[in-house]
Structure formats: structure tokens, C-alpha cells
Structure 1
Amino acid sequence: MEAIRKPQRLRCSVQNYDWGRAGEESTVALLFSRNNPIDPARPYAEFWIGTHPSGPSSLLSLGSSDSQPTLLKSWILENPSVLLGDKVFDKWGGDLPFLFKVLSVSKALSIQAHPDKKLAKKLHEMHPNVYKDSNHKPEMAIALTEFKALCGFISIEELKDVLTGVPEITEMIGDEDVHRYMKFKETDPYDKTKVVLLSIFTKLMSTCKEAVSESVSKLKYRLNIENKVRTLTEKEQLALQLEKQYPNDIGVISSFFFNYVKLVPGEALYIGANEPHAYISGECIECMATSDNVVRAGLTPKYKDVQTLCSMLTYKQGYPEVLREAPLNTNISRYTPPFDEFEVDHISLSPRESVSCPPVLGPSIFLVVAGEGSIQMCPGTDEDSIIVGDAYFVPAKTEIRLITGAAGELQVYRAGVNSRFFN
């Protein structure tokens, strides 16, 4: 049984989306280079650790140098209740319930939302080539650098300022809904404001390409003229930045509807089902339910499903909650989002320090993002050296110990099933 529960070092997958950072500028490329050659001219966007078929991890210690490596998912399926823990196996079957990533963003990602379970199942059945699985995808992003994102709709009063201060938007949606919205107060019931915001946003996002192109050109011209006599707001500067990346895209205009969030390193943002968002720039740790379902409607050359996105959104308004790590002890702190599938620990060691990571009731994935040291699989066993890019799958009920040397520092992130799930 102890042999089965031995942690396994992983070879992980990478995604080379065009919004990623190029070569050596990318943390994703740095992590991937631990076990793979990298091309400095290519963008490296996402480092995937997990069992999702779009980017599966394999076991380095069990034949991953062969032509047919042992996939992590295949290995888990040999002893799922032991490796995942009984409660995780009973809830999610023989698979990891979470997907662990690192993102390196140099160009804005699409305006998007992730469907809830009911809609995800429906979309997968209708369009399996676009929506690759039937699971929902709540997610959390933890900033490694300054990380910028659009997330959720701005407040009622802020949106009133947009509707009066961005004439290109009023021209696109018409005066009727604008006049209706201007009568709202922050204290008005959500169901009442939702109907009008849904109407406004759907009209905006459904505007024909020719009208969008004309409106974006007008916006760009007006802001460049006004920039000579006043300092543009952050949102106006962002709109000009997005226009350079995605000319004539509706996302340039619709960006005014969303909260502009700037995370400092260590802060986190969690995003539930049916909430609009778009990552703008920076590098982050990301964890989510095991899914790759994305409904897109702007800032992308990929398939846009505007009607689905507009119909699925919650239309909740207000600034999103920013999570900060809660210390568990001197070396370990935790991010706990309101989702059963995952939580993330940050483990930080100075020179000549060590920390025991006690056994938990579900599986974990450990990723070294900075420094070097060693890992001890269980008390009394030999230590293995670890450096940046090393990733380990640790089975349920398995203790490990992390150690640094005289000159070493170590930064490790651990993803696991939310501890609240076991309570």
C-alpha cells in the first residue's frame, strides 16, 4: 500500500496560445523547460498539470521516456479510491476534480464565461467539438506578478457614468434602454436591474461587424484627440490598448461594462459559473474544476457564441471579492475559494528551513515555481532534489517534507480538494 501511495514526478503539458509570453520571458516556458526543450520564438501561454485530455500529465518515473508514457489518469484509474481517497472517489469518480495551471499573459484573453453544470452538459451534447467536456469550470487566479483582468459588471452608478460618458455605446444600443437604466438606484432589486442590463449588453454584443468597426474607430479617434487636453481614465487607456491588440472588436467597447481589477502578487480572484471576465496581462497560478469549457464573445479570433454568453450571464453588479492567503503556519498559507473541487496552498521556505506537509484526505499536486531544495516522500526515506518546474502528484493520506539548503529558497504551490469538502 505504501508503494502505491508514493508521490510521482510528472511531465506536464503546455499550450502555445498566441496571447502567451514569448520564450524566455514566460514563466510557463521556464517551468516547461525542466523536462522539455522550448522554442524561444513561440508563445508559451499555459502550463497544465492534471488529467484533462486537452493537456494530460504523465508520470516521469513510470515510462514517460517511452513512446507511450503512462498517463496520470491511467495510473489513478488502477487504484482510484486509494490514490484519490474514498470520499473524492465517491463524489467525482476515478479522476482529479481539479486542473492546476500557470498562465503567462502578454495579450488580452477573450471576453468569456464558463457555464454551470447544467449548461455545460447541454453545450457539450450540442457542440462537442467546441465545448470539449460536460463539466462546469469555476476557477481561481493567484497573481505571481501584477495581474490585470476584467471581471464582472461594474456597479449601477458606474454604469450610469459609462452610458453618459461613452457616446459610442449609446449610439449602438439606443436611447430607450439607456433612459430606463438611468432611473435605477443601487438599492433597486437585482431582478429589476438584471432585465435592463441583459437587454443593453445583448444589444451591444449583437451589433453587426460594420457598426462595431465604425464605433471602435469613433472611440479611438475621440480618445486620441481628448488625450491631448486631458489625462485619459484607466478604462479609456485600456480600450486603446485592446484596440491595438484586437482592432474593430466589440470587446474594445464592451470593456467599459466590466470591473478593471489589478492584483498585486499574492492576491487572488475567484470566478464562478456564468460570470464574465477577461485576463489582460501578467502571470498567475490558476486552479479550476477539471474542464476546458469557455463561451467567448469578444477579444478573440476563435469561435464566438454571443447569444449563449449573453443569455447565460448572472448580470450581478459590483466589484469582485479579492482573496488573500490565510496563514496556516510560518511557512504555509492557503487560498480557499467557495468551490468544493479545489483550494491552493502557498509554501515558502528560506535557507535552512523545512516544513512537513501533513497527509490530507484527498489528492494533491505540488509545483515548484522558484528556488531549489529537496523533497522527502515520507519520514525516514531518502530526499530527492527539486528545482523550478518540478511537479508531483501526491496521493491521499500521504505526508511529504520540503527542505532547503544553506543557500536555497523555495516557493511551492499545492493544489488539492477544498478542505471544507471533507468537513
Structure 2
Amino acid sequence: MELLRNAVRPYAWGSRTAIADLLGRPVPTPHPEAELWMGAHPGDPSKLVRPDGSEESLLDLLDADPAHHLGEVCTDRWGSRLPFLLKVLAANEPLSLQAHPSAEQAAEGFEREERAGIPRNAPNRNYPDPTAKPELVCALTEFHALAGFREAHRTVRLLGELDVPTLRPHTALLAAQPDADGLRALFTTWITLPEHYLRGLLPELLDACVRHVREHGEFALECRTVLELGEAYPNDAGVLASLLLNRLVLQPGEAIYLPAGNLHAYLQGTGVEILANSDNILRCGLTPKHVDVPELLRVLDFTCGDMRVHKGESLDGNLTVYQTPAEEFRLSRVDWSPANSTAVRLDSDGPQILLCTKGALRLTAQRPGAEPAELELGKGQSVWLAASDPAVLASPVCPDGTAQVFRAAAGT
């Protein structure tokens, strides 16, 4: 049971206040801060902070003694690699429109690019590693996202409401086949449009969206999103693609799970994200980075319908678990309030990271034949629990009994 010191990633789309406020630092920050990483990602591994103030890389510790830190179940499946990465994600501007491959697609794509001799850090590399990258994001604030293809009949209605003359043949294409195959055909048409065609089409679309918002139409939120994206990314096919996706607004505590092939973009807000420890991304647009259209089309899942919002499964009063099929991770949350400040026992046969997002906690671990070990965890702090550590008893220490902690563990 040891405190972690974690890296902050300063991407341009980040917030100047959210992560700094969580960590108790002055705001605003000089530069945007986008992600706080907790885990053993080779690019920025967490450091374990010893009682004497010294630090050691979690990545190095896992390599040196995976059995102690990860346990038998985890090492049998993942070797010395921690299968998950926990993040705080703070978006002040939209991220790129993207999807992630399945395990089979990642393994095949990685081997193909290795044979082709593409350097793993090359900007045109799609598969820097051979693993899948499912992810789940749970809102800490109101969180806005695009995720998954909207039910096709509703998209036909949206396009009909906008009634952009240049898009009428495209609307007719989807109306004639309002299913996954029709969406694939329309998406493929849009994502391959030449830039000179987009220069003429997108202003017409933006004008139509302005009219729809002024008229308080059914799809005003979707149209506002198109306008925002069109201003930030002129002549980008991703602006068109956003018309096909579910527009979501998550409230704190609500989450979405993004499996392989799900096309998505986070737009704004702060959330706790847990994902497989992988860098495999196929981008679609809203970015100056490499977009490989044929490979993207191989990976995308065009199944359409409403995107499920996970509210979590409530267990034992103040414990909420977000169940997903991902074998790499499992996310849960514990909330304490003045009405329920009961201590919660946290045990596992695998590795865990605890992140305090509200109030402060006291963690108590009892190893047989030894004095109890105690650690206080304040807001923004996180702790590493190795598989061989004893169970931890967590309880709030704030006078009003209010606290919140997120718990990341390997999947089951």
C-alpha cells in the first residue's frame, strides 16, 4: 500500500483548471492539462513514493517481481504487464474522432506493420502494440461525447430536417437502406469526399444547422455540435461523420463503455477513464494526425442504436460497480455521505489502484502478525495495492463523513 506520483499530460485540448483543482494546485495553469495517468504505461509510468521520500517506477517494479505485484491470475494472462491504465481526463475542447481495434485486429495489424518495417513511433503507424483497447469513462462533471452510430431512421430524419441540397442524394441513400450496411455506405462516401467538395458542402451544412438551432428543432444539440466542430476543424470530413453518431450528455456518476469498433469523440468535461494499456487508435477526423481510411473501415462497427449509459450496479449501500465484458479492467466507485460513512473492505487477488476524488480517506491494512498499516489519502491522491497486499479497510476522515474513491482492478 504505497502512494503514487502520477504524470500529467499537457495536450492542447485539455483544461487549465480541472486537474490542477483535483490535485490542489493553483488555477489556472500556464498550459492546458488533459490527462492524469495512473499505472504502468511505458510512456509515463507512475512512481511509488516510499516513506523516506524516494521514488521507484511502477513499470520497473512489475518487471522485477510480477508475481508479487500482479498475482498469479494476472501474470498467467498478461505476463509482467499491468493490463489497465487509469486516467483523469479533462477535455476543454473536442478530442479526435476515433475507434479502437479488437484483440484479433490489433494482433494482425501489429504483425503486418512489423513485417512492413514501419517504426513503432512513426506518425503513420496504426498498431504500435498487439493488444485491444476497450475503454470506459465515468463522468465527474457533466460530460459531453459522441459515441456509436445513431439509429439509422433517426439519422434520416435529422438529415431531412436539415435538408441540405447537396446532401439530398446521401439522405436518399440511407433512407433506402436504414441499417448498418446503409450507414457503412454513407460513412464511406463521406469520409472519402475530396477536400474541394467538402469546401462547398460544409458551409451549406453549417447554415442549415444555424437555422435548425434558431428554430429550436428536435436536433438542436446535434446541430450545435456540428457548428462547434465546423469552426474548429474547417473542411474536415469528421464534421460530417459527427452527424451519424449519438450525442450524449453524461451526469456525474454515469458512464459509457466503448468496445472495439465504436466510433467516438469526447467533447467536453472531466471524467475518470479506465482503458486497456494500449496505444492502438484508428482516427477518423477532427485531427491533423494520420487518418488511414481503409484500416478504419476494417475496424469500425456500424451497428446502430442508442448508446447505453451505465449508471453502475449498486452493491452494499455505498459501493457501485461498472460491469463490462472487458477482461483488462474493472472500475468501481465508493461514496460516503453523512448518512452512510461505514468503512468498506477492499480486497482482491490482483493489482488495484485507488484514486480519491472527493474528501479524504483512511486506509487500514492488517497483515497477520504485524501492526496495522495506515495511510491517509487526500483528494487527487492515489495509491497502489499489490496483489500480495492484505485487504484494505477504507473509511472517510472528513468531519462530515463525505468522500469518494474510484477503484481500478484487473477484469475478471
Amino acid at match of 2:276: A
Partner in structure 2 of residue 55 of structure 1: 44
2:8 to 2, 5, 14: 14
* Whole-angstrom distance in 1 between the partners of 2:68 and 2:373: 23
Contact 2:13–2:92 (CA<8 Å) still a contact in 1? yes
Secondary structure at 2:291 match in 1: coil
Alignment CA distance shift 1:156-1:353 (3 Å): closer
Residue equivalent to 2:408: 415
Counterpart selection for 1:313 from 294, 300, 303? 300
| Residues 1:78 and 1:289: Cα distance change in structure 2 (over 3 Å) | same
Q: Say if 1:365 and 1:394, in contact at 8 Å, map to a contact too.
A: yes
Q: 1:134 aligns with which of 130, 138, 147?
A: 130
Question: In the alignment, residue 288 of structure 2 is paired with which amino acid?
Answer: P
Do the aligned partners of residues 316 and 402 (structure 1) sit closer, same or farther apart at CA in structure 2, a change above 3 Å counting? same
One-letter amino acid of the structure 2 residue matched with residue 376 of structure 1:
T
**Superimposed CA distance per residue, residues 399-418 of structure 1 (whole angstroms, 9 cap, x where no aligned partner):** 11223233452211000122
Which of the numbers 132, 143, 150 marks the counterpart of 1:147?
Answer: 143
Aligned to 2:366: 378
The one-letter code of the counterpart of 1:18 is A
| TM superposition shift of 1:32 | 4.8
1:42 aligns with 2:31: yes
Do the aligned residues in 1 keep the contact of 2:346 with 2:394 (CA within 8 Å)? Answer: no
User: For residue 148 of structure 1, what is the amino acid of its counterpart?
Assistant: H
* Secondary structure in 1 matching 2:56: coil
CA distance in 1, matches of 2:8, 2:214: 43
Q: CA deviation at 1:382?
A: 4.1
Aligned to 1:182: 175
Equivalents in 2 of 1:178, 1:236: separation in Å? Answer: 16
Asked if the contact 1:363–1:396 (Cα under 8 Å) also holds between the matched residues in 2, the reply is: yes
Ranges of 4+ aligned residues in structure 1 off by more than 6 Å: none
Matched, 1:248 2:235: yes
CA distance in 2, matches of 1:230, 1:286: 33
The one-letter amino acid of 2:48's match is L
| TM-superposition CA deviations, 1:123-177 (whole Å, max 9, x none) | 4442422343221101111111111111111112112224434444x736x83x6
Residues 310-338 of structure 1, C-alpha deviation per residue, up to 9 Å, x if partnerless? Answer: 23211100012211121221232211111
Whether the 8 Å CA contact 1:148–1:279 is kept in 2: the answer is yes
| 2:156 aligned to which of 153, 160, 164 | 160
2:246 counterpart SS class: strand
**Would the alpha carbon gap of residues 182 and 264 (structure 1) be closer, same or farther in structure 2, given more than 3 Å must change?**
same
Output the CA distance in 2 between the equivalents of 1:70 and 1:62: 12
| Cα distance between partner residues in 1 of 2:28 and 2:281 | 27
Q: Spell out the pairing of 1:363-402 with structure 2 (5 A cutoff).
A: 363-378=351-366, 380-396=371-387, 398-402=390-394
**Matching of residues 11-410 of structure 1 within 5 Å:** 11-22=5-16, 25-26=17-18, 28-32=19-23, 40-61=29-50, 65=54, 69-125=55-111, 126=113, 127=118, 128-129=120-121, 130=125, 131-168=127-164, 171=166, 175=169, 178-184=171-177, 193-225=179-211, 227-228=213-214, 231=217, 233-350=220-337, 353-378=341-366, 380-396=371-387, 398-405=390-397, 406-410=399-403
Quick one: distance in 2 between partners of 1:10 and 1:281?
A: 27
What CA distance in whole angstroms lies between the structure 1 residues aligned with 2:400 and 2:175?
A: 61
SS in 2 for 1:182: helix
Change (3 A) 1:84 1:303: same
CA contact (8 A) 2:213 2:224 kept: no
Q: Distance in 2 between matches of 1:357 and 1:213?
A: 58
CA contact (8 A) 1:346 1:413 kept: yes
Q: Do the aligned residues in 2 keep the contact of 1:152 with 1:317 (CA within 8 Å)?
A: yes
Amino acid at match of 2:166: E
Give the aligned residue type for 2:343.
V
The question of whether the paired residues in 1 share the 8 Å contact of 2:352 and 2:410 is answered with yes
1:14 is displaced (CA, Å) by 1.6
Identity %: 31
1:39 offset after TM fit, Å? 7.4
Query: Contact 1:298 / 1:304 at 8 angstroms: preserved in 2?
Result: yes
Paired positions, count: 395
Provide structure 1 residue ranges, at least 5 long, that are not aligned to the other structure: 1-6, 186-192
**1:45 positional shift:** 0.8
Q: Secondary structure at the match of 1:301?
A: coil
- TM-aligned CA distance change 1:389 to 1:346, over 3 Å: same
Q: Secondary structure of the residue that 2:204 maps to in structure 1?
A: helix
Check conservation: 2:100, 2:299, Cα contact below 8 A: no
- Residue type of the alignment partner of 2:328: E
Equivalent pair of 1:32/1:47 in contact (CA under 8 Å): no
Is the CA contact (8 Å cut-off) linking 1:331 and 1:355 kept in structure 2?
A: no
User: 1:294/1:84 Cα in 2 relative to 1: closer, same or farther (>3 Å)?
Assistant: same
Q: Give the distance between the partners of 1:227 and 1:321, measured in 2 at CA.
A: 26
After alignment, is 140-149 or 378-387 more displaced? 378-387
- Contact kept, 8 Å, 1:217 with 1:248, in 2: the verdict is no
